[in-house]
Amino acid sequence: MLIDPQSSAVRRVITLQYNPDTLTRTLQVQSTAPSGDRSEALRITGPPAETIKLDAEIDAIDQLEFPDQNSNTVQLGIFPQLAALETIVYPTSAQLQSNNDLAQSGTLEIIPMESPLTLFVWSKTRIMPVRLTDFSITEEAFDPALNPIRAKVSLGMRVLSVNDLGFSHKGGNLFMSYLQRKEQHAGLSVNGALSALGLSGFP
């Protein structure tokens, strides 16, 4: 999902055709640098850096079975779906042209272009602001006009936290909601017993 970072208006919703079979999440703990001070051993400096990787399959088989209802797929294959994903990591052509016009007019400082805020939605309880870090497409089959009709998409993302966006940013608010839901779920987990560890009491 892409939303406007200023107004929070939804710009585009991009759905995967099939749910990925696996999703890999990696959390890198943010701790203080080793200083020899034993009081620092248990300190953390902020939320962990969370990365997500997944592979998704996209194909046109279902749509091509009903060509009268899917004229775009007949003409272009799955290129529209791939293009929707790809444009997440591109500035718009209008932004590029505007920056070029500013440069041609002699503007000394050109502000870097701001992209929409990307949200990765993995169920209603896991909605997180992310930045795409890795993106590869393997086109595996084509129609006679060389339009792709089957592809594998590999996505790598990094969750953006309040350390990246701040608390006042819409993405920062969404991260805090994501963290709070995680804490709520953790509270539903059943506590284990010391006896399960072979202990009768805490040493």
pTM of the model: 0.84
What is the arithmetic mean of pLDDT over 100-129? 86
Q: What is the mean pLDDT of residues 25-38?
A: 78
If pLDDT is split at 50, 70 and 90, which confidence band does 98 have? Answer: confident
Low-confidence winner among 72-81, 111-120, 147-156 (lowest mean pLDDT): 111-120
Query: What is residue 47's predicted lDDT score, i.e. its pLDDT?
Result: 93
DSSP per-residue string spanning 6-70:
TT--EEE----SS--S-EEEEEE--BPPP-S-GGGTT-B-SS-EEEEEEEEEEE-HHHHTSGGG-
pLDDT at residue 35 in the model: 59
Cα-based distances in Å from 91 to 11, 155, 172: 14, 18, 22
Q: CA triplet 14, 156, 47: central angle to 5 degrees?
A: 105
Q: Is pLDDT above 80 for 45? A: yes
Tens digits of per-residue pLDDT, 181-197?
999 999 998 888 878 87
CA 175/CA 71 separation, integer angstroms: 39
133 against 95, higher pLDDT = 133
Residue 139 has pLDDT above 80, yes or no: yes
| CA triple 53-112-54, angle to 5 deg | 5
Give 77's DSSP letter: T
For residue 104, name the pLDDT band (cuts at 50, 70, 90): confident
Give, in order, the Cα–Cα distances in Å from 134 to each of 14, 53, 187. 17, 9, 33
* Average pLDDT of the chain, as a whole number: 89
Across-strand partners of 51?
Answer: 26, 158
